[in-house]
């Protein structure tokens, strides 16, 4: 019988250079601690500016288990509000998205502007002489965006978003360059795929290049996707750890070897003539060709934004064994012909019925049940330790199938959890 | 509305078609199930509402005929991990109605519950399902099947069987 654990040993006893303790995925006390030290402290990806394009647009998002309203004010600024009335705690918004200057709490009719300020309350004489100005909706104290990607931190102080992203910011630049206008849009709506598994199993799998050949062999065998070879033993692709927990599988060496524009998307420029023309016009033929050969990144921004070449996953940790993968197709501004195919391909591969993600998710859930067994206690993450090295920028890299990313995530995780 | 004998027979035929389709799904008769589709078929599970534009918005499934074939071949590969072991399944179909009829094409609707048992546990799925049926080669076939899950706007567990 598994014993419900309520205390956490020293982090250094649970996280070693090449292994981590299984209880880190299953102990509810660890999850509670993660909420305080990670989800409610560090920068967490919340949403994209293109989801609230106009003044007063809002969309319901989350930070870990907490609901967060991402609202664009009359002034154009994007704010993150907590969905909790300062009167008696009722939820002020139950819509998934909309356009609203104000939110009115249905319980006693207090009304809030979309910057959180209380603007009206019923039967005002009952509050005569009281200062009501401090009774606002909770605001996520720090909000910052990078190229349209909006992050929030529930800590009033800490490293800036630029510090947090560090070297990984360049992967977002690379992503945006795939658009002839240099911008990504999130407009196709999300699928919400729930797994009975710890969020770290999901996060680590995103840049695990060891599994695709096995977990996805069924789809590789019936549809020629070309993905399979990228993750074989002979692959020249790299795994990379950027620090701060951000990790990548850099497929560019493989795509450059192939040297075919749009080869990363399994197609050719002839089949996307409008897109190719726009790219050439925006970047010049030489640079456009480079961009179209390199393709989009495969990067996991710690702790919850996975940019997976053609789609994004936003990981939401709800409980120690309850995680939601919010997933949608990436859309590139000024590229309608490409975007249509991105939506089609995304729908086929991800979400609850996806050709790829249904099998990944099966692994998450089996792994969660697996670590309930008491022995051998540890998860072994030593693959490729002997051949990892620093790249020209000083980031740790290894073979496409090596566990450089997991080791990088856990190193950062430990530093966050050990912080006071 | 006055129901005559002909309508009764047609409703019976439609019901029998839907029951048979459900049984083929429940019993993993993937190839026989695939044979029920027309060449221009669409198999659609919308997300976030029953009536979104699947050409613009994400759906859980939006398969054309060739993708239905891929789905079936993946299940037949023996390596579709999420269906190895297979979910144990039973569809329950009720409220079958013929919604409209234009020349040969029949639009039919029903309510469906599916009980699924797999390694995770038991899951109950509920949906409004609509068919576009067409006689072809002496038998009735599906040109379109839309399964609008009641909770398609909520987080959903993996749904890797045929619904
Ligand atoms: S709880 Fe919101 S107005 Fe009373
Ligand atoms: Fe995978």
pLDDT at B38 over 60: yes
Query: B155 in a domain, yes or no?
Result: no
pLDDT at site B2:
47
Q: For chain B, what percent of residues have pLDDT higher than 90? A: 93
Q: Does A137 touch chain B (CB under 8 A)?
A: no
| pLDDT of the residue at A5 | 62
CB atoms A359 and B120 under 8 Å: no
Is the domain of A199 the same as that of A334? Answer: yes
Residue A38 resides in a domain: no
* A14 domain-assigned: no
Tell me the CATH number at A403: 3.90.380.10
DSSP string, A39-53: ITTS-EEEEEGGGS-
Q: What is the pLDDT of residues B41-55, one digit of tens each?
A: 999 999 999 999 999
Q: Which residues of chain A have pLDDT under 70?
A: 1-6
Q: Tell me the pLDDT tens digit for each residue of A40-75.
A: 999 999 999 999 999 999 999 999 999 999 999 999
Closest in B58, B61, B73 to A190, CB measured: B58
* pLDDT attached to residue B4: 59
Q: State phi, psi for A314 to the nearest 5 degrees.
A: -110, 120
What radius of gyration, in Å, describes the C-alpha atoms of chain B? 16
Distance CA A116, CA A111 (A): 9
Residue A173 lies in a domain: yes
The total number of structural domains in chain A stands at 2
List all residues whose CB is within 6 A of at least one atom of ligand 1. A 85, 87-88, 90, 105, 107-108, 110
Ligand 1 atom with the smallest distance to the CA of A105 is: 2
d(CA A293, CA A307): 18
Is the same domain home to A207 and A332?
yes
In order of A61, A309, B68, B117, the CA distances from B120 in angstroms are 27, 30, 26, 8
Same domain, A119 and A184: no
Q: What is the CATH number of the domain that holds A87?
A: 2.102.10.10
Quote the domain boundaries for residue B67.
Answer: 5-149
pTM score, whole prediction: 0.97
Q: Which among A192, A222, A362 is the nearest to B155, CB-wise?
A: A192
Q: What is the ipTM of this complex?
A: 0.96
Q: What is the mean pLDDT of residues B77-106?
A: 97
Q: Judge whether residue B32 has pLDDT over 60.
A: yes
User: A275: burial class by Cβ within 10 Å (0-12, 13-18, 19+)?
Assistant: buried
**Structural domain count of chain B:** 1
Write the CB contacts of A202 (distance below 8 Å, at least 6 apart in sequence): A195, A315, A323, A325, A364
Does residue B154 lie within any of the structural domains?
no
Which residue, of A104, A126, A153, is where some domain finishes?
Answer: A153
Chain B interface with A: residues with Cβ < 8 Å: 45, 47-48, 52, 55-63, 67, 70-71, 73-74, 77-82, 119-120, 153-160
For residues A178 and A76, membership in a common domain is answered with no
Cα Dmax for chain A: 76
Q: Where are the alpha helices (DSSP H) in B40-142?
A: 65-76
Compare all CA atoms of chain A with the CA of B71 and give the residue at the minimum distance.
A355
Q: How far apart are CA A240 and CA B123, in angstroms?
A: 39
Q: Which of A153, A181, A213 is the last residue of a domain?
A: A153
pLDDT value for A20: 98
Backbone angles phi, psi at A208, to 5 degrees: -95, 110
Neighbours of A9 (CB within 10 A): 11
* Together in a domain, A143 and A179: no
Q: In what order do the strands lie in the sheet with A142-146?
A: A44-48, A149-153, A142-146
Rounded-to-integer distance, Cα B15 and Cα B111, Å: 12
Asked if B150 and B49 touch (Cβ cutoff 8 Å), the reply is no
Which domain, by its residues, includes A224? 167-418
| B20 belongs to a structural domain | yes
Does any domain span residue B144?
yes
pLDDT for the residue numbered A13: 95
Assess if residue B159 is contained within a domain: no
Is residue A267 in a domain? yes
A185 and A132 share a domain?
no
In angstroms, the CA A23 to CA B91 distance is: 38
Contact A351 B47 (CB under 8 A): yes
Q: Which two tokens stand for residue A237?
A: 């692709």
Answer yes or no: do A208 and A330 share one domain.
yes
Tell me if A27 is assigned to some domain: no
* Each residue's pLDDT tens digit, A152-166: 999 999 999 999 999
pLDDT for A6: 66
Q: Is residue B111 part of a domain?
A: yes
Helix (H) / strand (E) element for A340: namely: helix A336-349
In whole angstroms, give the CA distance from residue A177 to residue B113.
46
Q: Residue B90's domain is classified under what CATH number?
A: 3.10.450.50
A19 belongs to a structural domain: no
Q: Tell me the nearest-neighbour CA distance from B73 into chain A, angstroms.
A: 6
Could you tell me the maximum CA-CA distance found in chain B, to the nearest angstrom? 52
Taking a C-beta distance cutoff of 8 angstroms, is the pair A330, A342 a contact? yes
In this structure, the answer to whether residues A269 and A171 fall within a common structural domain is yes
Omega before residue A376 within 30° of 0, cis: yes
């Amino acid at each position: 019988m598994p014993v419900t654990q309520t205390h956490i040993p020293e982090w250094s006893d649970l996280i070693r250079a090449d292994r981590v303790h299984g209880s880190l995925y299953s102990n509810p006390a660890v999850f509670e601690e993660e909420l305080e030290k990670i989800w409610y402290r560090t920068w967490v990806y919340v949403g994209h500016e293109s989801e609230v394009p106009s003044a007063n647009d809002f969309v319901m998002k989350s930070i870990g288990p907490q609901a967060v309203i991402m609202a664009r004010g009359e002034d154009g600024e994007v704010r993150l509000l907590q969905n909790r009335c300062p009167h008696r705690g009722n939820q002020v918004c139950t819509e998934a998205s909309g356009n609203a200057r104000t939110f009115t709490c249905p319980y006693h009719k207090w009304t809030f502007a979309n910057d959180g300020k209380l603007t009206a309350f019923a039967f005002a004489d009952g509050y005569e002489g009281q200062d009501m100005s401090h009774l606002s909706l909770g605001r996520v104290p720090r909000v910052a965006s990078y190229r349209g990607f909006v992050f929030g931190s529930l800590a009033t102080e800490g490293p800036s978003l630029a510090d947090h992203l560090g070297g990984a910011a360049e992967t977002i630049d690379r992503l945006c360059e795939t658009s002839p206008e240099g911008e990504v849009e999130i407009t196709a709506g999300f699928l919400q795929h729930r797994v009975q598994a710890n969020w770290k199993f999901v996060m680590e799998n995103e840049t695990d290049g060891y599994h695709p050949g096995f977990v996805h062999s069924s789809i590789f065998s019936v549809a020629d996707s070309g993905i399979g070879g990228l993750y074989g033993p002979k692959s020249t692709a790299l795994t990379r750890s950027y620090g701060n927990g951000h990790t990548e599988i850099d497929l560019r060496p493989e795509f450059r070897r192939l040297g075919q524009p749009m080869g990363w998307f399994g197609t050719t420029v002839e089949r996307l003539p409008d897109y190719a023309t726009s790219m050439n016009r925006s970047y010049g033929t030489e640079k456009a060709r480079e961009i179209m050969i390199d393709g989009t990144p495969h990067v996991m921004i710690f702790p919850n934004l996975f940019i997976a070449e053609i789609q994004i996953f936003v990981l939401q940790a709800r409980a120690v064994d309850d995680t939601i993968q919010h997933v949608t197709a990436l859309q590139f501004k000024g590229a309608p012909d490409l975007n249509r195919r991105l939506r089609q391909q995304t729908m086929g591969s991800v979400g609850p019925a996806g050709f790829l993600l249904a099998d990944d998710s099966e692994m998450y859930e089996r792994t969660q049940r697996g670590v309930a067994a008491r022995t051998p206690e540890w998860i072994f993450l030593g693959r490729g330790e002997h051949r990892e090295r620093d790249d020209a920028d000083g980031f740790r890299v290894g073979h496409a199938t090596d566990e450089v990313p997991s080791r990088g995530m856990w190193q950062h995780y430990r530093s966050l959890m050990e912080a006071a | 509305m006055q129901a005559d004998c002909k309508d009764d027979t047609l409703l019976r035929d439609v019901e029998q078609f839907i029951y048979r389709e459900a049984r083929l799904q429940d019993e993993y008769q993937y190839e026989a199930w695939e044979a029920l589709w027309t060449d221009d078929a669409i198999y659609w599970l919308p997300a976030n509402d029953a009536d979104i534009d699947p050409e613009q918005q994400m759906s859980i499934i939006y398969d054309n005929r060739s993708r239905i074939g891929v789905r079936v071949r993946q299940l037949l590969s023996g390596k579709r991990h999420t269906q190895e072991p297979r979910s144990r399944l039973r569809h329950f179909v009720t409220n079958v109605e013929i919604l409209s009829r234009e020349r040969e094409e029949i639009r039919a609707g029903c309510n469906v519950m599916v009980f699924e048992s797999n390694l995770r546990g038991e899951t109950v799925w509920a949906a409004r399902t609509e068919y576009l049926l067409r006689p072809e080669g002496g038998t009735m076939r599906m040109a379109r099947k839309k399964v609008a899950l009641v909770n398609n706007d909520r987080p959903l567990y993996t749904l890797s069987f045929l619904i």
